[in-house]
Chain A
């Protein structure tokens, strides 16, 4: 009798606990699906950072969402590979003193991986090495018709 009483209690608690943790409110679960679709579309369009971000939102809504964790891992690997490729291309352009092209590549690497330290340092370096070093204003007098400031 006691066992039955405890068993019933256990089942009761289980139901309550599971209903509390498994239910994602309808509105939020719809949003989760919307972000999943966006994540897939961004991935198809090659916008891997945006895709990864959408998967993170899906995971925030439901950490157990099917496939989200695996997709995040896959996309992170692609991001690593592609951002490294941009850095190599940017370095070659920097050596040829092609500032804009090099910067475009370093920005592409940072777009994929905002924490890519090497791309960031090379981007700053490209501006300091190849940016204008000197600026002269047109001659004139203070308060008169000249370049100002």
Chain B
């Protein structure tokens, strides 16, 4: 073996031994970071935040909660060693001695002056959004909730869903601007007979605008009758026709008028029975929401999810009680 070959062999052996110890970490000097399939361990530089690190290593600043949750909310300072999980962990929110549960809040009308318990004041609505923001709650979309329920995607520890029912005009004029100001997504569950039905109701144009602004618009039946309470003397054929109109035709009409998938259904008055649930499933909805009080674990029956009604009489103390995000096993 010549000297040159010996030299080359030596180099290859040395570099080969070295390779597994130092995997390349995009955007960082070797001295600052280590990586495996599961984690990046990085020394934070001046100006690094959970958002900048999430953008660099997880591809999206919006995934900063993955870093924040792993640190139990501890802020990041220059020189801190930050561990960044690269794979989904805590699927289903199983953690410590319990598991995550997701509260779904339900509003109806929002008015400067409340006329009944369904219409909460603008002031109270804003107070509640401010509370959520200041206390680390993260608004999630129904698609994210859907993936959580399928055990496919973990959620921020303090995930919350905001829904607004029926299709009142205030969803556009009051709720949407405040939701945007505080950075919360929301889902508007509408019943189609109400749309375009007067000065208090949203129009189809306004629904399309809300959709274009990033909000979600989903199904809440045609007439808002209680689907689990049939009218007197309704036979099974009439019931099937009625459920078709309330559940199937509503989906088709909404998809045509709004131009987007309708995959989620909120049962009017929270009423459902096995026939109603079967029809909702057959129509192609992925999730059904009732109004039984409570937060939802990932293994909750996806067609019988719970929601909390937020009424006018709910002051901040009562509101906070609804924000349960963890349950002991």
By the criterion CB–CB under 8 Å, are B269 and A60 in contact? no
Contact A127 B118 (CB under 8 A): no
Nearest-CB residue, chain B, relative to A23: B31
CA distance A42 to B291 in the complex (A): 40
Task: From the candidates A64, A120, A134, A142, name the one contacting B224 in the complex (CB within 8 A).
Answer: A142
Question: Which of B35, B43, B91, B118 counts the most A-chain CB atoms under 10 A from its CB?
Answer: B118
Contact check, B291 vs A57: say whether CB atoms are below 8 A apart: no
Residue B75 interfacial (CB < 8 Å): no
- A25 B38 Cβ-Cβ under 8 A: no
Interface residues of B in 96-146 (CB under 8 A from A): 99, 106, 108, 116-118
Given known A62-B21, A123-B299, A135-B270, contact A14–B99 (CB-CB < 8 A):
no
Contact (Cβ within 8 A) A134 B272: yes
Q: B303 to chain A: closest CB distance in Å? A: 9
Instruction: Assess the A25–B91 pair: CB atoms within 8 A.
Output: no
Residues 83-97 of chain B: 1 if any A CB is under 8 Å from the residue's CB, otherwise 0?
Answer: 100000111101000
Q: Which residues, 5 to 46 on A, are CB-close (under 8 Å) to B? A: 6, 9-10, 13-14, 17-18, 20-22, 24-25, 27-28, 31
* Contact residues of A between 93 and 118, Cβ < 8 Å to B: 103-104, 107-108, 110-111, 114
* Residues of chain A contacted by B27 (CB below 8 angstroms): none
What residues on A are CB-neighbors of B40 within 8 Å?
A: 60
Closest Cβ of chain A: how far from B270's Cβ, in Å?
A: 5
Chain B residues closer than 8 Å to A57, beta-carbon distance:
38-39, 41, 83
Which one of B5-13, B47-55, B176-184, B241-249 contacts A?
A: B5-13
A137 to B267: give the CA distance in the assembly, Å.
Answer: 10
Number of interface residues, chain A, beta carbon within 8 A = 56
Which residues of the partner chain B approach A108 to less than 8 Å between Cβ atoms?
Answer: 329
Report if A2 contacts B (CB, 8 A).
yes
The smallest C-beta distance from A111 to any residue of chain B, in angstroms, reads 5
Q: How far is the CB of B23 from the nearest CB of chain A, in Å?
A: 8
Q: Does B226 contact A (CB under 8 A)?
A: yes
B304 contacts partner chain A, Cβ-Cβ < 8 Å: yes
Contacts of A20 in B (CB 8 A): 18, 22, 30
Among candidates B94, B290, B292, B304, residue contacting A107 with C-beta atoms closer than 8 Å: B94
| Alpha-carbon distance between A51 and B78 when the two chains are bound, in angstroms | 27
Question: Given contacts A60-B35, A110-B94, is CB(A149)–CB(B18) below 8 Å?
Answer: no
Which residue on A lies nearest to B309, using beta carbons? A148
A127 to B303, CA, bound (A): 11
A57-B39, A135-B270 given as contacts; is B81 within 8 A of A14 (CB)?
no
Contact A31 B81 (CB under 8 A): yes
Indicate with 1 or 0, residue by residue over B306-324, a CB within 8 angstroms of chain A CB atoms. Answer: 0101010000000000000
18 A-B residue pairs with Cβ-Cβ distance under 8 Å, sorted by A, are A2-B3, A10-B7, A13-B14, A27-B79, A31-B41, A57-B38, A60-B34, A61-B41, A63-B20, A107-B94, A126-B299, A127-B300, A131-B300, A135-B304, A137-B269, A137-B270, A142-B224, A149-B165
15 extra interface residue pairs, beta carbon distance < 8 Å, beyond A6-B3, A147-B269: A6-B7, A9-B7, A14-B14, A17-B18, A21-B22, A25-B32, A56-B39, A60-B41, A131-B304, A132-B304, A136-B271, A137-B229, A147-B291, A148-B118, A149-B267
Chain B residues within 8 Å of A, Cβ to Cβ: 3-4, 6-7, 10-11, 14-15, 17-18, 20-22, 30-32, 34-36, 38-41, 43, 79, 81, 83, 89-92, 94, 99, 106, 108, 116-118, 151, 165, 224, 226, 228-229, 266-274, 277, 290-292, 299-301, 304, 307, 309, 311, 329
Top 4 A-B pairs, shortest CB-CB distance: A21-B18, A137-B269, A60-B36, A17-B14
